[in-house]
Amino acid sequence: GQDKATLETFFDALGPERSALITHVSADGAAWIASVVAERAPNAVRCADPFHVVKWATEALDEVRRGAWNEARKAARHNDARRTRGRPPADAPARPDSARATGIKNCRYALWKNPENLTEKQQTKLAWIVQTDPRLARAYYLKEGLRVIFKLPLEEATEALDKWVGWARRCRIPSFVKLQKSIVKHRTAILASIEHSLSNGRVESMNTKIRLMTRIAFGFKSPEALIALAMLSLGGHKPVLPGRD
């Protein structure tokens, strides 16, 4: 589950004494997580998971991309309607507005991926966006700017985050103006994740492995066998099994 009741069940199983020993909690920005952690693990420093924070920026960027795509499609339909009487030949080259709509639609992964992971074709698409759509390019740079902050030392990251908030506040892109409000709200948790170098990475990796085990466990008579399999593989203690050299 992904709700308050599930997290409460975890702390119930852990017990108040062990809960009080928790020093740090890495999580996304959900308010229900913060409220439960504050109540059940009052000594813990809450850290905002970098992946989820950058995901917020990626979603804001994609909102800008979809808006630019819709505008380009509307322009293409409008201009095509005006050209109907001319009836261009079937082999005529694509109109600039139609080509722009297609280009924006196909640039999604070039905008999402980290620059160091772009293919040569995706680099070309990104360069085309920078030249043809300054607003979308600005949204891309805002997303990348936020991602880079998590790679900086704490002192530099603190200054960079404040500058990013100011940039986003003035950018005149509604999705990023809204995002900077969330960043300000979670500023302490974001800087805590940078200070303590914490993320949800290990937990997400473990969850992926458990999902794979769940598929392997289809047909098992009871969930206890799956739990035992997960504990044996991921619990830390791996006893030597019979039959192994």
pLDDT the model gives residue 96: 59
Say if pTM beats, i.e. exceeds, 0.85.
no
Q: Tens place of pLDDT for every residue, the chain, 245 residues?
A: 788 999 999 999 999 999 999 999 999 989 999 999 999 999 999 999 999 999 999 999 999 999 998 888 887 777 666 655 555 545 444 455 677 777 887 888 899 998 999 999 999 999 999 998 999 999 999 999 999 999 999 999 999 999 999 999 999 999 999 999 999 999 999 999 999 999 998 888 998 999 999 988 888 888 898 888 888 888 877 667 777 55
* pLDDT tens by residue, 13-26: 999 999 999 999 99
Question: 161 to each of 54, 58, 135, 220, how far by Cα in Å?
Answer: 13, 17, 21, 50
- Domain locations in the chain as residue ranges: 1-48, 51-82+92-185, 201-238
The Cα diameter of the chain in Å comes to: 82
* pLDDT tens by residue, 192-214: 999 999 999 888 899 899 999 99
C-beta of residue 72 within 8 angstroms of C-beta of residue 101: yes
pLDDT the model gives residue 237: 72
DSSP per-residue string spanning 33-91: HHHHHHHH-TTPEEEE-HHHHHHHHHHHHHHHHHHHHHHHHHHHHHHHHHHGGG---TT
